[in-house]
Structure 1
Amino acid sequence: MADTSVCTAFGDAASEDFDTFSKPTAKLCALVAYYPSAIPAPGIKFPGRPGFAEHDLDEHDKAADRLVWTRSLATVRKGFGAEVELEKIWEEHVEQGRMSTMVAKPYVNHVKTLTGGIGAKDSFCFYVYFFSPSNPASLNMRLISRTTGVDRVVDEMVLFL
């Protein structure tokens, strides 16, 4: 893996990387290019909304920025052969029901009551003192749909007694 590269570049640097990594000697597993000043093939068209990923510009587009992040992450993971089975990880988390399976800075947002927690301590307190004790023993959940992406799992559920 020492001779394998991942490159993220902007503007002129992105164009130079297209040239550099198109040569047979280069070992590139992923190239993420933003706003190249030249493109490798005349028929390729890039979005005409420059600035969409720059948080400090008026042209910033949060939805496009998130989409680019997701696609870039997928490209890099695929290039390195490091794809993650988020659905499997989520299922293990739900089965174990422990804070140790959460990310370093978890957060929970209980939409209906506008409660939850940010960080491990607050999330733990939310589950232990507010969420779990208030659930009646007859509570059931039914999964309606699941959307799995490269960086998130979203479950839509119905809870009933």
Structure 2
Amino acid sequence: MHASQVYRKYLMWGLYALLFLAVLLIQEIPLGRQRFFGAKLNLMPMTVVLITMHLGHEVGGLFGLLAGCFWCMSGADDGSAAILTWTVLSIAAGYLCDVMFPRRFLPALALSLAALLFHGGIVFLLNVLLTGAPWSLGLQTLISAGLSLLACPVLYFLCRAIGKVVG
């Protein structure tokens, strides 16, 4: 690899990390206590999937694992579940984009919805099984996934712009 390619890789990872950190801060500080229709927005699984669909399944899986560990260490409620779910989602999204889907907006929207439902569903099931949370919490999970999906176009185009700057 030439030196310019190495610098481009560093730039790519730095910009993706900056995007991840910015979304983390936006979700935790201004949106942390806000509830919309009784549900909190969850932008992180969607952000991880949108980043990893541009990276591929091997590098994306590593990014998902590291992002889940960072999210867990930041003190999030669903941090331990995020390590597992984000790693699985990252590998799946990267693999599906390598094999079947083009890296365009509609597959990104579908993968984002799948990520939000998968992560929210796992967290919901853990809450029901371990803490005895009511089953009506599942409706809040669906509302949260639907409302969080509204941020998908902005995040997708930011991830695509980072890929174009570097690639």
- Between Structure 1 and Structure 2, the one with more helix by share is 2
Larger radius of gyration: 1
Q: TM-score range by the shorter chain?
A: under 0.3
Q: TM-score, normalised by structure 2?
A: 0.26
Q: TM-score, normalised by structure 1?
A: 0.26
